[in-house]
Structure 1
Amino acid sequence: MATQTLHRGRLIDHLQLVVNDLESSRRFYAAVFDVLGVPIGGSGEDYFWADELFVSSAASRAAQGALTGRHHLAFQARDRAMVDAFHRAALAHGGRDNGAPGERAYHPGYYAAFVLDPDGNNIEAVHHGDADRSAASVEISF
């Protein structure tokens, strides 16, 4: 049996998006995650996952046969250039602009971009400005 590694200790444990067109979403998220440096963790006939995000078709067991509707989720970006690259990659792979890269009034240094994924979910990449972390995450292997 292969060892799996999970990262825990961030604000979000996991999110699930139930999508109409899994292949469109797979292409979209593969491009966005490539820019953000997040590998696709695994996939199957009716799902794929990366880090804390699980994306499935309505036919998946986890979805229980229903589309979940519009969601907003934000990915952490290392710097402003990564936010910019996220926006470009998302638009080039089926996303629609929902807020070009720029500073937002949420707090000083909040730099973000927003796109709508192929199912209309509001996806954000954000850099909160320069900060020190005690650790990137807690690594759990099993």
Structure 2
Amino acid sequence: GVVASVQPPHAVEDKGWAETRVGADRIAGAYAWRTLRLAGAPLVFSSDLPGSDWNPFYGLHSAITRQDTSGAPPGGWHPGQRMSAEEALRGYTVWSAWAAFDELDGGTISVGKRADLSVLSVDPLRDAPRALLHSEAVLTMSRGRIIWQR
């Protein structure tokens, strides 16, 4: 099997030059997250600091919409490769923990796990993807203890 480690902001940040550099035929296979998912590959999402913005909310927005912060392009760049909100969230949590061999202790909120979690100002599964661009953490827990709170 294959684990695909990708940085969602790359697709929206590279859209202006990528097709010119790799060609119209090959661009269809680049940033092809939906294709990878359909092939059964877990997607591990991360940032690429300093190559890209580290903000995970921007990353979620990029994965779900394939649009930049201005909403361009309408409908998203290669929109058939967009992720659902649930898949995008899993890419930053469950699938990342699995890829790091940490699924027994992290990645989900379950009895017996570390209880590392953040409470967000928006609901990434219910709110409009654009709201993610203005989201903030309002509480952070590590090993079941509140370590930061707004």
TM-score, normalization by structure 2: 0.25
Highest relative contact order (Cα 8 Å, sep 6+), 1 or 2?
1
